[in-house]
Amino acid sequence: MVNRFRSDRGLVARMVLTVFLLGLLYVAFVGVLIVLLKSAVLVIVFAAALLGAQYWFSDRIALYAMRGRVVERDEYPQLHGVVDRLCAVADMPKPQVAVADMDMPNAFATGRNQDHAVVCVTTGLLRRLEPDELEGVLSHELSHVAHKDVAVITVASFLGVIAGLIVRFAFYSQMFARGRKDQNTLAVFAAVIGVSIAVYAISFVLIRTLSRYRELAADRAGALLTGRPSALASALTKVDGAIARIPTRDLRTAQAFNAFYFTPALGDSPVFQRVFSTHPSLEQRLDQLARISTELGEAAAPGKAG
């Protein structure tokens, strides 16, 4: 086994660039809102409060939304044992271990740093995977924590969240304003909505670009840590196939958190949804794992052959 998670210069460069560009966009966004709404205090306090909440409570929000709960060793000894071994090999603090009671097989990691992180798996994943496949998935998720891209994607997602909230707020405030409407008010709110939509679109593209690369980086780092890329390839194939068989209506709630998942909850989705997916295609991920398998002298990944 490789002694630690290998650093990824490409990932670091992309994270720095994404945060820088989103930071500029965020400052410009707040500046435009201050000019339009003529209330610097309101805009700054609102934006700061949301950013702080997303940064400090991201792990709790994600667990709550996906019905996950932190579990102790006596409840899931095998799961804790795998996380213990991987953290020892990677020389990193052990995150909290959580389980979400849902049939969809998946996993995610969240948290603002290595000391405040959570790795969560679903009961559907635990039921379907073999021990070496589970180890591959968990090594992938732990690499997100080690590379700090979990915190970056959480903060990066904030701008899109606030832009969406402002659009909703402006829309509903106009619905209930009634007699107080005038042309100036309508013009201001139209401008706010237009700017918010533009900001959401730009942040959407930036986050998708970073998210796809970070998933490939996590696959690579996880496969090198365990030395068994074929196990990770097998897990990817199983999970992707199982999700494809889950009714789309049952995946809708989970789709809001696709950027954090091991495999996106797309199911049998239209092609355009897959084009804008947070993850690279299954074929890309399996091709990379097959190359790593060859480099390590391991037998060809079974997930690719299937």
Q: Between 60 and 158, name the one with better pLDDT.
A: 60
For residue 171, with 0-12 CB atoms within 10 Å meaning exposed, 13-18 middle and 19 or more buried, which class applies? exposed
Q: Which of 75-79, 114-118, 178-182, 299-303 has the highest mean pLDDT?
A: 75-79
299 pLDDT more than 70: no
Residues forming a β-bridge with 16: none
Range with the lowest mean pLDDT among 27-31, 147-151, 158-162?
158-162
* Token representation of residue 249: 């209506």
Per-residue pLDDT band for 85 (boundaries 50, 70, 90) equals very high
Q: Is 279 annotated as ligand-binding?
A: no
236 pLDDT more than 90: yes
Amino acid letter, 246: I
- State the pTM of this model: 0.81
165 pLDDT more than 50: yes
Q: Which of 17-26, 150-159, 212-221 has the highest mean pLDDT?
A: 212-221
Q: Is 140 annotated as ligand-binding?
A: yes
94 pLDDT more than 50: yes
Residue 58's Cβ-side half-sphere holds a number of Cα atoms within 13 Å equal to 27
Catalytic residue among 141, 283, 295, 298: 141
- Catalytic residue status for 133: no
Angle between helices 131-146 and 77-90 (to 10 degrees): 50
Q: Which of 46-50, 236-240, 241-245 has the highest mean pLDDT?
A: 236-240
For range 201-219, the mean pLDDT: 88
303 pLDDT more than 70: no
Q: Are 254 and 261 in contact (CB under 8 A)?
A: yes
Range with the lowest mean pLDDT among 43-57, 84-98, 194-208, 218-232?
43-57
Per-residue pLDDT band for 176 (boundaries 50, 70, 90) equals low
Q: Is 215 annotated as ligand-binding?
A: yes
So what's the pLDDT on residue 235?
A: 97
Annotate the chain with three-state secondary structure: CCCCCCCCHHHHHHHHHHHHHHHHHHHHHHHHHHHHHCCHHHHHHHHHHHHHHHHHHHHHHHHHHCCEEECCCCCCHHHHHHHHHHHHHHCCCCCEEEEECCCCCCEEEEEEECCEEEEEEEHHHHHHCCHHHHHHHHHHHHHHHHCCHHHHHHHHHHHHHHHHHHHHHHHHHHHHHHHHCCHHHHHHHHHHHHHHHHHHHHHHHHHHHHHHHHHHHHHHHHHHHHCCHHHHHHHHHHHHHHHHCCCHHHHHHHHCCHHHECCCCCCCCCHHHHHCCCCCCHHHHHHHHHHHHHHHCCCCCHHHHC
* Token representation of residue 218: 């996590």
End-to-end CA distance of the chain: 26
Mean pLDDT, the chain, whole residue set: 82
Per-residue pLDDT band for 305 (boundaries 50, 70, 90) equals very low
Range with the lowest mean pLDDT among 22-26, 243-247, 297-301?
297-301
Range with the lowest mean pLDDT among 184-198, 204-218, 227-241?
184-198
Q: What percent of the chain has pLDDT over 70?
A: 81
Q: Between 21 and 271, name the one with better pLDDT.
A: 21
302 pLDDT more than 50: no
